[in-house]
């Protein structure tokens, strides 16, 4: 990775007070994203991946406590003053959420929402903002863009709405785009189109991207690096090809094995992960995955394994009993 | 429409048409679908949102009266039944829905929720009811003593889906319609529920109609797969054969669009063109022609019928891939 580091998350933790006690949603996470690179963050619901993205954007719930540093383009977002932060978000730091219906304003037209963003951040006049909006909608593959400007979100299909949300996110040429489960609500053929669109625009704009998903299949062909999260921590982190060639963390292996394979025979029993993720308000002593892990032994139940590099500095995992054999794609 | 026949079908759907009025217009949700499901078989039904999959499931149960066509369950014509006779027949057919939490009444205890079908079907003895409820809960891997007195919000999504499956099993049905039963669940939980459904199918001798949009999930559980597009069947065939050699371009498109968990398989760039048209005004001829790379004039004017393309495999296409 020769690219300059654009985003550096350093020792970030997020605590949420709940009636049942403190909930540690994100637990001391360190991650880096280089300019123009793509980082995939994979994990199941409740593993802290969305909270981590909110921590980067400084959009955490009011009650949440954040510690650590989020360095973006040379500035620490955690201590940045709100006015500067507001200028940064939407401009060089953009986001696309899972549900385009809730991220678009239902009572404003597509045009109003796009033009508003352009005028706010780029100080364009009304005419050039409108012209720019049409270009953006065309770029994200929306047919008849002029007519769409006067339409409301409910008049578009889910896939089209997500394209509009992407157009708004891309409108100010961001340096980093955070895509939080951008295709989870969409059909499989539309998912492929949206992921293609994101990859194309990313290459064209040399934009960095964080792709958050629960689907290892989505990150496999479309990211440079993957971080797997479990119970608020990053448990394995590696360049994408290295991860799929040789996964070391049993959770990553189990997650991949649990996905039904298209080339497996029907009625094959799936290697399911027993149990379910731990209650985040009751932290587990030792490795959080140990109650569900088939390799867990003595030390795993008493001590937290650190996230450390082994054979190569780029491949890190938090496990006392890493998998030795080549896993991932079945031979 | 006799091609897709098996010797002794439990369910036979013949030329089923279901439409919904929307103002002055009509949504053509299911337009002339015929299929059969043999005893003990799992038929997977795939297609994108808006293609009419759940409507087909509901029309089988007569929860939505079809405009025309026939649904024959175990030799009885459900479309001709009404009131009590229909209700008695429905006992043998159960439904499992996509959102397990929303399909449980949040104010009722799990024990009562699962006993409800028994109450409705006239099991008067409370002791017997309790025994059947406990049996069903044990079968789905929950401890009855810990579960019966609790409320749905105390359970996770995966556990709620287990409870829904227990409720479907308590009447000892012959046939279960699973409507996207795992799409709301996480990967690790999804595998548990799919395995559970397979196990229950064996233990209770069930026949399943498994509706889902995820092809890999459907393949994992189905003997045969039916692919639906805008209210019509595109292709039906044995799962392995259908996935290895799809005949309909739409089936091929769906298979190509699946993200593979393997970085060496580069995603095929833009395999999928456009979006499904509206079921209010479906295209003439072949409904898939607006997105199909092989479409020509014949596809515009002539509606393709399901035709045999290989042993047990049928496709509705003028220009099949095999």
Residue B256: closest CA among chain A residues belongs to which residue? A189
Confidence of residue B2 (pLDDT cuts 50, 70, 90): very low
What pLDDT, on a 0 to 100 scale, did the predictor assign at position A325?
Answer: 55
Residues contacting residue B145 through CB under 8 Å, at least 6 positions apart: none
Bridging pattern class, strands B175-179 and A316-317: unpaired
Burial class (CB in 10 A: 0-12, 13-18, 19+), A195: buried
pLDDT tens, position by position, B196-222: 999 999 999 999 999 998 888 999 999
User: What is the overall mean pLDDT for chain A?
Assistant: 89
Q: Using CA atoms, how far apart are residues B287 and B290, in angstroms rounded to an integer?
A: 7
Percent of chain B topping pLDDT 70: 95
Topology of A5-230 in CATH? Answer: Rossmann fold (3.40.50)
Torsion sign over Cα A80, A81, A87, A93: positive
Q: With CB atoms and an 8 Å threshold, state whether B261 touches A256.
A: yes
Percent of chain A topping pLDDT 70: 97
Where in chain A are the domains? 5-230, 250-331
CB count within 10 Å of CB A19 equals 5
Q: Using CA atoms, how far apart are residues A319 and A177, in angstroms rounded to an integer?
A: 31
pLDDT above 80 for A185: no
Residues of chain A in contact with residue B156, where contact means CB-CB under 8 angstroms, are 276
Query: Which of these, A183, A230, A180, lies nearest to A210 by C-alpha position?
Result: A180
Q: Using CA atoms, how far apart are residues A188 and B260, in angstroms rounded to an integer?
A: 12
pLDDT tens, position by position, A247-288: 999 999 999 998 888 888 888 888 888 888 888 888 888 999
* B51-58: average pLDDT: 87
Write the residue in A188, A244, A271 that is nearest to B262 by C-beta.
A244
What pLDDT, on a 0 to 100 scale, did the predictor assign at position A158?
Answer: 85
What pLDDT, on a 0 to 100 scale, did the predictor assign at position A215?
Answer: 87
User: What is the overall mean pLDDT for chain B?
Assistant: 90
Q: How many residues does chain B have?
A: 322
* Segments in chain A forming alpha helices (H): 49-57, 82-88, 100-103, 110-122, 126-139, 145-148, 158-170, 188-205, 216-220, 240-245, 250-257
Residue B198: closest CA among chain A residues belongs to which residue? A267
pLDDT above 60 for A326: no
Percent of chain B topping pLDDT 90: 66
Q: With CB atoms and an 8 Å threshold, state whether A193 touches B270.
A: yes
* A276-304: average pLDDT: 89
Q: Which H or E element spans position A25?
A: strand A21-34
Q: With CB atoms and an 8 Å threshold, state whether B259 touches A269.
A: no
Residues of chain B in contact with residue A274, where contact means CB-CB under 8 angstroms, are 192
What pLDDT, on a 0 to 100 scale, did the predictor assign at position A1?
Answer: 45
Structure tokens at B40: 């003990």
Q: Which domains does chain B have, with CATH numbers?
A: 9-92+174-315 (3.40.50.300), 109-172 (no CATH)
What pLDDT, on a 0 to 100 scale, did the predictor assign at position B6?
Answer: 55
Residues of chain A in contact with residue B220, where contact means CB-CB under 8 angstroms, are 260, 264, 266-268, 270
Write the residue in B192, B194, B275 that is nearest to A157 by C-beta.
B275
Residues of chain A in contact with residue B221, where contact means CB-CB under 8 angstroms, are 266-267
pLDDT tens, position by position, B137-175: 999 999 999 999 999 998 888 899 999 999 999 999 999
* B291-296: average pLDDT: 90
pLDDT tens, position by position, A214-231: 888 889 989 999 999 999
Q: With CB atoms and an 8 Å threshold, state whether B259 touches A191.
A: yes
What pLDDT, on a 0 to 100 scale, did the predictor assign at position B268?
Answer: 62
Residues of chain B in contact with residue A195, where contact means CB-CB under 8 angstroms, are 259, 267
Confidence of residue B7 (pLDDT cuts 50, 70, 90): low
Residue A276: closest CA among chain B residues belongs to which residue? B189
The answer to whether B188 and A258 are in contact (CB under 8 A) is yes
* A97-102: average pLDDT: 82
Q: Using CA atoms, how far apart are residues B320 and B322, in angstroms rounded to an integer?
A: 5
Q: Which residue has the tokens 């007070």?
A: A17
């Amino acid at each position: 990775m020769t690219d300059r580091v654009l985003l550096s998350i350093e020792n970030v933790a997020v605590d949420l007070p709940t009636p049942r006690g403190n909930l540690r949603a994100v637990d001391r996470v360190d991650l880096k994203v280089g300019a123009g690179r793509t980082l995939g963050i994979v994990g199941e619901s409740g593993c802290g991946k969305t909270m981590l993205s909110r921590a980067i954007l400084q959009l955490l719930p009011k009650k949440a406590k954040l510690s650590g540093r989020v360095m973006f383009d040379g500035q620490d977002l955690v201590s940045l003053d709100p006015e500067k932060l507001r200028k940064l978000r939407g401009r060089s730091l953009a986001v696309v959420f899972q549900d385009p219906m809730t991220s678009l304003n239902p009572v404003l037209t597509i045009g109003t929402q796009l033009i508003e963003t352009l005028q706010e951040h780029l100080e364009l006049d009304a005419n050039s903002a409108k012209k720019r909006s049409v270009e953006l909608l065309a770029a994200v593959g929306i047919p008849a863009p002029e007519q769409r400007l006067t339409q409301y979100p409910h008049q578009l299909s889910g896939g089209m709405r997500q394209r509009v949300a992407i157009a708004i996110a891309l409108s100010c040429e961001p340096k980093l785009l955070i895509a939080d489960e951008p295709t989870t609500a969409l059909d499989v053929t539309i998912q492929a189109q949206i992921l293609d669109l994101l990859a194309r625009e990313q290459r064209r704009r040399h934009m960095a991207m964080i792709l958050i998903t629960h689907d290892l299949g989505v990150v496999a062909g479309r990211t440079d690096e993957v971080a797997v999260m479990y119970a608020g921590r990053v448990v394995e982190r590696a360049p994408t090809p290295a991860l799929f060639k040789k996964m070391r963390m049993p959770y990553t292996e189990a997650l991949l094995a649990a996905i039904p394979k298209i080339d497996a025979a029907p009625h094959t029993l799936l290697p399911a992960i027993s149990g379910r993720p731990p209650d985040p308000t009751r932290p587990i002593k030792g490795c959080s995955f140990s109650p569900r892990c088939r390799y867990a032994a003595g030390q795993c139940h008493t001590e937290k394994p650190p996230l450390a590099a082994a054979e190569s500095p780029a491949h890190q995992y938090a496990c006392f009993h890493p998998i030795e054999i080549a896993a991932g794609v079945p031979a | 429409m006799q091609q897709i026949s098996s010797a002794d079908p439990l369910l036979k759907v013949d030329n089923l048409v279901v439409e919904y009025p929307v103002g002055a217009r009509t949504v053509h949700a299911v337009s002339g679908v015929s299929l059969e499901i043999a005893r003990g078989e799992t038929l997977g039904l795939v297609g994108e949102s808006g293609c009419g999959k759940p409507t087909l499931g509901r029309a089988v149960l007569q929860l939505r009266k079809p405009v025309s066509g026939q649904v024959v369950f175990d030799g009885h014509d459900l479309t001709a039944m009404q009131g009590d006779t229909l209700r008695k027949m429905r006992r043998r057919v159960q439904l499992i829905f996509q959102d397990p939490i929303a399909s449980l009444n949040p104010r009722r205890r799990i024990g009562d929720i699962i006993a409800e079908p028994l109450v409705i079907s006239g099991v008067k003895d409370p002791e017997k009811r309790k025994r059947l409820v406990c049996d069903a809960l044990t079968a789905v891997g929950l401890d009855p003593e810990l579960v019966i007195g609790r409320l749905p919000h105390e359970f996770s999504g995966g556990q709620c889906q287990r409870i829904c499956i227990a409720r479907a099993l308590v009447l000892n049905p012959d046939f279960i319609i699973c409507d996207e039963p795992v799409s709301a669940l996480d990967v690790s939980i999804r595998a548990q529920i799919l395995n559970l459904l397979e196990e229950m199918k064996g233990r209770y001798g069930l026949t399943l109609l498994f509706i889902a949009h995820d092809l890999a999930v459907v393949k994992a559980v189905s003997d045969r797969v039916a692919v639906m597009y805008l209210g019509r069947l595109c292709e039906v065939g044995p799962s392995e054969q259908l996935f290895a050699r799809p005949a309909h371009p739409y089936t091929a498109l769906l298979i190509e669009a699946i993200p593979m968990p393997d970085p060496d398989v580069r995603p095929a760039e833009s395999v999928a063109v456009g979006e499904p048209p509206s079921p209010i005004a479906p295209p003439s001829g072949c409904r898939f022609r607006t997105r199909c790379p092989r479409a020509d004039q014949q596809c515009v004017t002539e509606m393709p019928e399901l035709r045999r393309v290989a042993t047990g495999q049928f496709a509705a296409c003028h220009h099949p891939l095999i």
